[in-house]
Amino acid sequence: MIQRHTGLVLAFDVDWDVEKSIMFLNGISDLIDAVKIGWYQLLTIGPQGIKELTDSVNKYFLADFKLGDVAHINEYVVRKVYGLGINGLIMHAVAGRDNLATAINVARKLGVDVYLLISMSSGGELYDRNLDYNVSLGMSLGVSGFIVPATKPNVVRQVRSMVGSNYQLLSPGVGVQGGKPGCAIANGADFEIVGRSIINSESPRQAALNILNAIRNPISCS
């Protein structure tokens, strides 16, 4: 599980080299609880580059490859991700029970957390029609938590009321996509995932501090 200190997860969607990435992350590390990396970065610095990042930056790393293939491929990827020093990964609920179960078991044995994507910050209408099923699926498979969109506050509240306090809710879509900083947590999420509002800012530290301030003092969230 991600340890919560600030409530902020950085979506580190950049095409920078390893050196610049490490410098940036070390400069903001005290303000964030985890670093989410994904396809963009993997395709830029490669697996070796990702390994260098996890070796050099003392932070929880969440791999967002939105894994949703058949069972054996999911399992291969889980094992590779583990080898890169990753602490948690994200899977697509839409892959279904049979394709998720083995990989989730393998991940748990390796000590890698699995977070299940069950609704999307834009689109994702097939997910929203099957919210109850996907939440129950994740709980029965033993995931650590769920991805719930900051742009859909009713989904955040609904999922929290379904899962109680034993699952972590991570909420993307804050800032550029329209979710108000602080409001996903006010509505029941544990973490807000933020990328461009921090990364593209003239002052990333100040941008992150502003979001932390909103998390501590949420205003007009509905």
C-alpha–C-alpha distance, residues 131 and 125, integer Å: 10
Distance set, CA 91 to CA 95, 118, 152, 166, 211 (Å): 8, 9, 20, 19, 27
Nearer to ligand O7M, 176 or 219 (CB): 176
C-alpha–C-alpha distance, residues 53 and 68, integer Å: 25
The sign of the dihedral angle between the CA atoms of 98, 138, 153, 199 is: negative
Q: 64, 113, 152, 190: which is the annotated catalytic residue? A: 64
Smallest gap from residue 12 Cβ to ligand O7M (A) = 8
Nearer to ligand O7M, 38 or 204 (CB): 38
> Could you identify the residue written with the tokens 């590779």?
80
196 annotated as belonging to a binding site for a ligand: yes
Measured at CB, which residue is nearest to ligand O7M? 195
Answer yes or no whether residue 179 interacts with ligand O7M by CB under 6 A: no
Question: What is the CB neighbour count within 10 angstroms for residue 195?
Answer: 22
Mark whether 180 is an active-site residue: no
How many angstroms separate the most distant Cα atoms in the chain? Answer: 46
The contact pattern for ligand O7M, residues 84-123, with x = CB under 6 A and - = no contact, is ------x--------------------------x--xx--
Smallest gap from residue 60 Cβ to ligand O7M (A) = 14
Q: Which positions are annotated as active-site residues? A: 64, 66, 69
- What is the contact surface with ligand O7M in residues (CB under 6 A)? 11, 13, 38, 64, 90, 117, 120-121, 147, 149, 172-173, 175-177, 193-197
